Amino acid sequence: MTLLQVSWDVSPVIFSLGPLSVRWYGLFWALSFYFGYEIMYRIFKRESVPLMQVDKLLIYIALGAIVGARLGHCFFYDFDYYIKNPLEILMIWQGGLASHGGAIGIILALYYYQKRVSSKSYAWLLDRLVIPISLGAFFIRMGNLMNSEIYGHQTDLSWGFIFVRAGEVVPKHPTQFYEGIPYLLLFLGLGWLYLKKAKVLPPAFMLSLFAIVMFTVRFLVEFVKEDQSAFEANMSLNMGQWLSLPLIVAGVVVFFWSLKQKPEPITIKENVKEKPREKNRK
C-alpha cells in the first residue's frame, strides 16, 4: 500500500505574548466548556428549568472535570511518582489529565449539584449532560492531536501520521481521530435523540448509550495506542482498558434497568424565540 504519510509538525502554541502562551489544548478545553454551557442553557430553557441553575452547573462540572482528570492521571498512571511528589499534583500546566478520572469527577460533582441546587432528578441531569460531554471529548482529543500526544503504534496504513515534534520518524496510528470522530458522532446521535424523542425516552437511557459507546470506543482504540506509562508494558490489557471495562458493564446494566422505567414527565417549549439572557434571568 502506498504511504501518504502525514508529516505532523504543528506547534501546540497558537501565539505568545511575552511569557504568556495560548495553546491549542487550552483553547479546546475552553471550547468544551463554552459549548457545554450553551447547550445546557438551551436545554434548561426548552424545559422551563430555572436558568440560574445553569451557571452553578458550569462551576460544579468544571471543578469536577478538571480535578477528577488530574487526580485520575496522577493516581491511575503515575501513582509512584506523585505519591513521592504530592505538590506536583497541583502543577496541572505540566500536563497529565485522564478522561476516566474526569468522568468520575463529573459524576461526583453532579451528585452534589443535584442535592444542593437542581430541581431535576439525577438521571435527568445525566441524560442531558452526556450530550455536551461527548462534544467535549471530541475537542479534547483534537487538543491531544495538536500536542502530538496520545498516538498509536507504528502503522503502514496510508493515513499514518509522523509526529515530528514528538521525535517520531515513522508513521503512527492517529488514534486521536480514531476516538475523536466516534465521539463527535455520539454527540450528534445523542443530540438527535434528545430533540426528537425526549418525551418518550426512559430515565438514564441516553446515559447508558453514552457509557457503552464512549468506553467501548476507548477500549478498542487502546489496542493500537502506545502505553501512557511504563508499567503498562507487561499488562494483557492496559490501564485505559481496565478502567473502561467497569464503565461499559455499568452502561449495559443501566440500559436494561432503563428499559423497565417509565419516561419522566417533562414540558418542552417548542420554537421559543431567544431573548436577551439578562431578561431571562430576572
Query: How many angstroms separate the Cα of 159 from the Cα of each of 9, 104, 172, 177, 178?
Result: 15, 34, 9, 11, 11
Taking 90 as the threshold, does the pLDDT of residue 216 lie above it? yes
Cα–Cα distance, 128 to 186 (Å, whole number): 13
Q: How many structural domains is the chain composed of?
A: 1
Q: Comparing 23-37, 53-67, 208-222, 230-244, which segment has the lowest mean pLDDT? A: 230-244
Q: In sequence order, what are the residues at sequence separation of 6 or more whose Cβ sits closer than 8 angstroms to the Cβ of residue 159?
A: 4, 6, 174
User: How far is C-alpha 148 from the geometric centre of its chain's CA atoms?
Assistant: 18
Query: Is residue 270, in this structure, part of any structural domain at all?
Result: no
Query: Is residue 75, in this structure, part of any structural domain at all?
Result: yes
Cell of 99: 478522561
Query: Is residue 69, in this structure, part of any structural domain at all?
Result: yes
Taking 80 as the threshold, does the pLDDT of residue 85 lie above it? no
Question: What pairs with residue 161 in β-bridges?
Answer: 6, 172
Query: Is residue 108, in this structure, part of any structural domain at all?
Result: yes
Q: Strand 6-8 to strand 13-17: parallel, antiparallel, or no bridges (unpaired)?
A: unpaired
pLDDT digits (tens, 9 = 90+) for 94-126: 667 777 788 888 889 888 888 888 888 999 999
Closest to 243 measured CA to CA, from 74, 104, 39, 50 = 104
Query: Is residue 175, in this structure, part of any structural domain at all?
Result: yes
- Maximal C-alpha separation, the chain: 63
pLDDT digits (tens, 9 = 90+) for 40-74: 999 999 998 888 888 888 888 888 888 888 888 78
Residues 183-209 have a mean pLDDT of 96
Look at the pTM and tell me if it is higher than 0.75: yes
**SS3 assignment for 55-71:** HHHHHHHHHHHHHHHHH
pLDDT at residue 22 in the model:
87
Query: Is residue 215, in this structure, part of any structural domain at all?
Result: yes
**Which one-letter amino acid corresponds to residue 34?**
Y
Query: Is residue 272, in this structure, part of any structural domain at all?
Result: no
Per DSSP, 261 falls in state S
Cα–Cα distance, 269 to 198 (Å, whole number): 12
Give the residue, 274 or 196, on which the prediction is more confident.
196
Q: Please spell the DSSP secondary structure of 15-57, one letter per residue.
A: EEETTEEEEHHHHHHHHHHHHHHHHHHHHHHHTT--THHHHHH
pLDDT digits (tens, 9 = 90+) for 147-170: 999 999 999 998 999 999 999 999
Cα–Cα distance, 33 to 28 (Å, whole number): 9
pLDDT at residue 61 in the model:
87
Taking 90 as the threshold, does the pLDDT of residue 146 lie above it? yes
For residue 210, the enclosing domain spans 22-228+235-263
Query: Is residue 16, in this structure, part of any structural domain at all?
Result: no
